[in-house]
Amino acid sequence: MHRRDFISGSVALSGTALIPSFFNTLALPMPPHLQNGETDENYWNAVRALFSRPEGFINLENGYFSHQPASTLSFHHLKENDINTRTSLFMRREQQQAIESARTALAGFLTCDAEELALVRNTTEAMNIIIMGFPWKKGDEVVLGNQDYGSMTEAFQQASKRFGITLKYAEVPLRPNSDEDVTEAYKRLFTRKTKMVHLTHMINLSGQVIPVAKIAQEAKKNNIMVAVDSAHAVAQLEFGLADLQADFVGASLHKWLCNPLGSGFLWMRKEHIPILWPLMGDTTQPMNNIRRFEHVGTRPIQTLQCIPESIDFHHKIGSTLKEKRLRYMMQYWTSKVANQNRISINTPWEDPKRCGAIANVSVDGYTPGALADILFSKYRIFTVAIDHPAIKGVRITPHLSNTIEDLDALVSALNEISTH
Ligand SMILES: Cc1ncc(COP(=O)(O)O)c(C=O)c1O
């Protein structure tokens, strides 16, 4: 549904005045020029005003999921209300068309073929479809990263027990000097038995972006399938799916696209569609139809109906500018504390191609939990402790709803904590 249809639709459906928050998006000023646009606080304050901010604390843990801007939230309510009113008539007669419209819009956004795109509930589901559905043979090997997201590592460990596959873990350097540092960590584990390499596009623990395409090229030389967990990269970094040179890509849309909770996708090359088993049995769809992976029973379609709206909001800002702003916010605070004696930034924060909004910080003398606790209890800054064998610190994730003042508060808290 396009914006104009939504205006007339909302009047027809509700018979009341237009939803005021909808105009907030229309009221968004033209984005600033790309050069230095990331620092135009007047513009970013107008963007921020579209998000409701919590009272009593500063949220710098936006990596879990993002809140929706007011325009999407209103649209979401409207669609939920419609489905709640027309119930099974909508589900039986209009649901599939709504799913197809969302698929088409998302394929346009990701620049891929809609027939290679399954709409799933989140990255975890997307990656599990691959991990549990791949036709493994006993003795097959998989190379994963030592900092991959826990659910994916667990899924592979379960698959290892179930199918007899062997897992090998690449030791990804925390602050690589070159793409080759990272590529080598994977490449050295490839053998003739390696069937798949699993890559976390932006590592959630630290915010490090890994050179997916370069690793994929090495994998292809060895006939190895490439599965990419792009949960944090989609709609945060500007890229097209083809750029990754992958076989499978999964991501969530409730993180950086600011879509309502419970939306994600699984993309795969067409030739792989018939070879994977769906997670939920489906024998009605033809084997070469991507929809066989969408069989999950009754689901909230309003979440999917919001996808075109969320893409619209994203485009109003623009992918390039949004990526620049998110990285600027991260570098704003990291550059102010990185030289402090007891502070370490566990992210390659100075290298723009290896980072985005997320960074991980530690302070000597504080466990990750103790640092997250004092940031919250004393300074009312909410973060998340990362206590992982490969990386220990606190993850800081600003989003479009944060201000420069939020980051100043973080800098001042870290300075105080590290000097006392
Ligand atoms: C790298 C990475 N992959 C996957 C996920 C899982 O996302 P979801 O819970 O939306 O499935 C996360 C969640 O934070 C993540 O950081």
Distance 58 CA to ligand 1 centre (A): 22
Report how far residue 98's alpha carbon sits from residue 306's, in angstroms, rounded to the nearest whole number: 10
Q: What residue's CA is closest to ligand 1, atom 14?
A: 64
Report how far residue 159's alpha carbon sits from residue 227's, in angstroms, rounded to the nearest whole number: 15
Report how far residue 136's alpha carbon sits from residue 163's, in angstroms, rounded to the nearest whole number: 6
Angle at 58 between CA 53 and CA 64, to 5 degrees: 80
- The domains of the chain, with CATH numbers, are 96-310 (3.40.640.10), 320-418 (3.90.1150.10)
Residue 343: what are its φ and ψ, rounded to 5°?
A: -105, 135
Pairing of strands 391-396, 225-229: unpaired
Tally of CA atoms within 13 A in the half-sphere of 205 that contains its CB: 23
* Mean pLDDT by groups of 10 residues along the chain of 420 residues: 36 38 64 94 96 96 96 96 98 98 98 98 98 98 98 98 98 97 98 98 98 98 98 98 98 98 98 97 95 96 97 96 98 98 97 98 98 98 98 98 98 97
Q: What is the pLDDT of residue 134?
A: 98
Q: What is the pLDDT of residue 13?
A: 37
Q: What is the pLDDT of residue 22?
A: 53
Nearest atom (ligand 1) to Cα of 264: 10
Angle at 363 between CA 360 and CA 368, to 5 degrees: 65
Distance 256 CA to ligand 1 centre (A): 11
Q: What is the pLDDT of residue 29?
A: 86
Q: What is the pLDDT of residue 28?
A: 83
**Residue to mutate (ligand 1; options 128, 151, 358; most atoms within 8 A of CB):** 151
Q: What is the pLDDT of residue 27?
A: 64
Q: What is the pLDDT of residue 156?
A: 98
Report how far residue 354's alpha carbon sits from residue 396's, in angstroms, rounded to the nearest whole number: 16
Strand partners, 58: 381
pTM: 0.94
CB-based pocket (< 6 A), ligand 1: 63, 122-124, 149, 200, 204, 229, 231-232, 252
Distance 264 CA to ligand 1 centre (A): 10
Residue 388: what are its φ and ψ, rounded to 5°?
A: -120, 145
**DSSP assignment letter at 114:** G
